[in-house]
Structure 1
Amino acid sequence: MTDLLFSKVSRRHWLRQGAALSLAAAAPLRAWAQPQATLVLGDQAGGLRALFEASKALEGVPFAYRWANFQGAAPLFEAQRSAAVDTAVAGDLPVLAAAVGRTPLKIVATRVGKADALGIVVQPDSPLRKVADLRGKTVIVSSARGSISQYQLYGALEEAGVRRDEVTVKFVLPTDAAAAFASRQIDAWAVFDPYYTIALQQGGRILRDGRGINTALGFITASEPSLADPAKRAAIVQFLDRLARAGEWALANPEAYAQAYSQLTRLPIESARIITARASVTGRPVSEADIAALQTVADRSARDGILPVRVDVRAITDAQLWKRLA
């Protein structure tokens, strides 16, 4: 793919891209001699793996690891719920939704990105010009209930004075929604990177992005069984140390990061540059401000019916696990 802008793409092509984004699912096991533990690192669309491979921050770690890649947060947290992954990476609302779904997890680190890495996209020639025009329309949200895109959509509707019952909302996983959007079966799509940037480069138009609505915070979660295992707990701390190192490298080497992301996902370098420039790369310990910001999301989501119950963020956070680099 050389010129994505204003090009049309077939369902088959989108599915090939989706498969490329999932290529990390069977990543080889990396090991240190007589490793202390083995971690399965959950990822979304290859983003975290690309960061680590580009920065080489996991080289020489005293534990074995492999990557497990998913197209969105919903299937990733299903894997964490079933103990198929030790760690997961996701935005604010998906973490809360996973906690409501009884996923045994703790938030152990914060990542900071940019709120314009997601938004509501419409067709280039769509008559929809503002969020208020969504009245009576159907909006596809990726990936599932409790996604950052659902939170962004509901925030945009409230901002525009549109009642949620005036819009039909359907939930579709990103690769399926991408194919439908490309074949013009979807009028409006609330989605996140990398699918968001790809849709825009296919000619899609932004109706409203996440700035002023979303926190732009992401989180690393660890499963409670993994944290209860002393060897895995120590390995997770070491992984978080390397996450901070990887983020520092990415900020200092944006082009190398984009090139590595492009190679891993097989996305055009033009798309990779945009995606990585606004990705959550910095990793840091969970702060009181992070807990407060996430609690605001939890309270609003319970109020709006996105979540069936209110989540106590502090109760699902382990702010003591990782405080500083070793």
Structure 2
Amino acid sequence: MIRHIAAVALSLSALSALTACGADSSADASAEDGQVTLTIGDQAKTLQTIVNASDALKGAKYKVKWAEFQGAAPLYQAVQAGAADTGYSADLPALQALSGGVRVKNVAALKNDGRHVGIVVRKDSGIGSVKDLKGQKVVVSSAKGSISEYLLANVLKQNGLSYRDVHVQYLLPTDAQAAFASGKIKTWATFGVYQAVGLEQGGKLLVDGGDGRVSGYGFINASDKALADSSKKAALTDFLGRLGTALQWTSTHQDAYAKAIEQRNGADATVARTLASAAYSKVLPITSDVNRTVQGVADLMNGIGVLDPNVDVAKSADTSVLK
């Protein structure tokens, strides 16, 4: 069972080893040529599955083309190259894109409870609290600047420790999963289905991202070029409203959403339920509270040398798209 979950995990989400491709999803089958087309950047078919399963695009007066990628970095590269109009990620990958000069603006916030990110330790590790991590090696998935790394940095700070008090190693989630299962590593900062797999493989949850230990925010952002096109901007405003309705649907139809993940991503039922439970539940406008919270993420990661140069989160938003 665990082996099967791990095998499926390899193909899902930063979670999924998808190649970049576009798939047209006409919002209105009778649409005339010349209609506005939004190319929506996605990871692991996440947004596409939610939107299609909830039938959220019914009656829309524009077309949607999906651009699928295996993670945030290639997605933002595509946005920079003009191959997608929008990006989609957790807060820290969006900050990294902005820090790296990708010409996007955050146009809407996504929210969940943060519990899909966690630090898992082996039950025989002798580690019972965050303070016990001092001097320990901690494996972070998946790359430098992940949301898992932010959780680690933040809980160390909250417990009076420095980031230099631990020895960080970066491993892709599937490599880390194999090393954790074999006992080669005993502390793993990870997320989503990998967190669930780690707990099944002799792990215990040391701490998760709930109660504000991670922001719980993600972002939909749009390229400067798309925002300068008034027709695309209007379509994007409508799309965000429909996405909000679709996310509400996932909250009230979690079984149906999990089934859609099974059918569209090839996941088994256990993995599908894990992914469904970790979904964002709301689309929110970019407010001063959102910017202030995420600025705290940026400042902490800049302080430990992970985000450089730092980002002014408020100046990186376009609040006119979603009021």
TM class, shorter-chain normalised?
0.7 to 0.9
Aligned runs of 1:129-278 on 2, under 5 Å? Answer: 129-211=128-210, 212-278=212-278
1:92 corresponds in structure 2 to 91
Offset of residue 19 of structure 1: 10
Q: What CA distance in whole angstroms lies between the structure 1 residues aligned with 2:257 and 2:135?
A: 42
What is the SS of the residue equivalent to 2:110?
strand
Q: What CA distance in whole angstroms lies between the structure 2 residues aligned with 1:114 and 1:185?
A: 31
Contact 1:86 1:226 in 2 (8 A): yes
Offset of residue 161 of structure 1: 3.1
Contact 1:74 1:144 in 2 (8 A): no
CA displacement 1:177-198 (0-9 Å, x = unmatched): 4444445444322122243234
Given the superposition, is the C-alpha separation of residues 132 and 220 from structure 1 closer, same or farther in structure 2, using an over 3 Å criterion?
same
Which 10-residue stretch deviates more, 140-149 or 179-188? 179-188
1:21 pairs with one of 16, 34, 37? 16
Given the superposition, is the C-alpha separation of residues 124 and 291 from structure 1 closer, same or farther in structure 2, using an over 3 Å criterion?
same
Offset of residue 200 of structure 1: 3.0
Contact 1:20 1:266 in 2 (8 A): no
Offset of residue 8 of structure 1: 4.5
Which 10-residue stretch deviates more, 171-180 or 159-168? 171-180
Aligned runs of 1:33-112 on 2, under 5 Å? Answer: 33=31, 34-112=33-111
2:316 corresponds in structure 1 to 316
Q: What CA distance in whole angstroms lies between the structure 1 residues aligned with 2:73 and 2:226?
A: 20
Offset of residue 111 of structure 1: 1.0
Given the superposition, is the C-alpha separation of residues 73 and 122 from structure 1 closer, same or farther in structure 2, using an over 3 Å criterion?
farther
Contact 1:71 1:173 in 2 (8 A): no
Q: What CA distance in whole angstroms lies between the structure 1 residues aligned with 2:74 and 2:180?
A: 21
Offset of residue 122 of structure 1: 2.6
Offset of residue 300 of structure 1: 2.7
Which 10-residue stretch deviates more, 287-296 or 24-33? 24-33
CA displacement 1:12-33 (0-9 Å, x = unmatched): 6654557983458545312342
Aligned runs of 1:288-299 on 2, under 5 Å? Answer: 288-299=288-299
Offset of residue 139 of structure 1: 2.0
Q: What is the letter of the counterpart of residue 43 of structure 1?
A: D
Contact 1:140 1:186 in 2 (8 A): yes
Q: What is the letter of the counterpart of residue 127 of structure 1?
A: G
Gaps of 5+ in 2: none
Q: What is the letter of the counterpart of residue 157 of structure 1?
A: L
Contact 1:14 1:178 in 2 (8 A): no
Which 10-residue stretch deviates more, 20-29 or 291-300? 20-29
Identity percentage over the alignment? Answer: 39
TM-score (norm 2): 0.86
Offset of residue 209 of structure 1: 0.8
1:30 pairs with one of 15, 25, 34? 25
Given the superposition, is the C-alpha separation of residues 313 and 214 from structure 1 closer, same or farther in structure 2, using an over 3 Å criterion?
same
Contact 1:50 1:261 in 2 (8 A): yes
Q: What is the letter of the counterpart of residue 106 of structure 2?
A: I
RMSD: 2.7
Q: What CA distance in whole angstroms lies between the structure 1 residues aligned with 2:37 and 2:180?
A: 39
Given the superposition, is the C-alpha separation of residues 304 and 54 from structure 1 closer, same or farther in structure 2, using an over 3 Å criterion?
same
CA displacement 1:185-242 (0-9 Å, x = unmatched): 4432212224323433444321211123111111111111121223322222222121
Contact 1:11 1:182 in 2 (8 A): no
